Structure 1
Amino acid sequence: MSDIKVDGWKSSEVLATLSQVFESFSDEEKKAQIQKTKGIFELRIKNAEGKEGVWTIDLKKTGTVYKGEAKPKPDVALILSDETFTSLAEGKLDGQKAFMTGKLKTKGNMMMATKLDGVLKTAKTKAKL
């Protein structure tokens, strides 16, 4: 769990929280989230120094978040900056707007990328409880 948080990436804090939320889900809640999403997101996030970190949100099989490339292959890879991801997670930036302005790039299933917003909102709501 603690290997998700990485110094120099604000996004890693958000992802660590997301991981805790998934871990706190009951089996039914986890199954429902997996059923709703049915996908694996690989996040390629560049920090302020221009270094890239890779995290994976697996909502296809395990309902987990981990540092590193997706195994198996992701349904969608999202390439964005640390700042953009943090803004998306906080609800300050809309995913479509980020994509249209070039702040967010995708590889793979574009429609799957639209589901990330819902995943982040679920986690945000749950984390505040």
Structure 2
Amino acid sequence: MKTHLTGKEIIEKVGFVYQLHISPKKIGFNEVIYTVYLKKGEVKKGAYEGGKPDATFSFKDEDFVNIATGKMNHQIAFMRGALKMKGSFSATQKFTADIFPKPSKM
């Protein structure tokens, strides 16, 4: 994912900082935090240290995979309670499967 998200096209298209809280079973428990910094094209494990991210997303790992692979729309996931969002509306609207690498066919 780091290789894909450092591309100039993604940085120009999105240009936001996302903080992802991914939990194995239930949102908010035993979560791992990642910062996806699409202003510079960086992905790192840990909370965003440059102030406040443009948007924060919390979900279970299986729901993250479904959103990232395009099997579930992030707006539908939000309405079903599978995704919690905070932050800029425009930043949340650009958080789509298009920013993630396409799954390889094995």
Is 1:102 the equivalent of 2:81? Answer: yes
Task: After TM superposition, give the deviation of residue 115 of structure 1 in Å.
Answer: 1.1
Separation (CA, whole Å) in 2 of partners of 1:20 and 1:112: 21
Distance between the aligned counterparts of 1:37 and 1:90, measured in 2? 18
SS in 1 for 2:102: helix
Q: Which of the numbers 1, 19, 43 marks the counterpart of 2:2?
A: 19
Structure 2 residue matching 1:33: 3-state secondary structure: helix
- TM-score, normalised via structure 1 length: 0.70
Tell me which residue corresponds to 1:66.
44
Normalised by the length of structure 2, the TM-score is 0.83
Unaligned runs of 5+ in 2: none
- Aligned residues: percent identity? 34
Q: Which amino acid aligns with 1:93?
A: M
Query: Given residue 46 of structure 1, which amino acid in structure 2 is its aligned partner?
Result: S
Distance 2:72 2:91 in 1: 18
Question: Which secondary structure does the structure 2 equivalent of 1:124 belong to?
Answer: coil
> Where do 4+ consecutive residues of structure 1 move more than 3 Å?
none
Consecutive unaligned residues in structure 1, runs of 5 or more: 1-17
Kindly indicate which of the two structures has a greater share of residues assigned to helix: 1
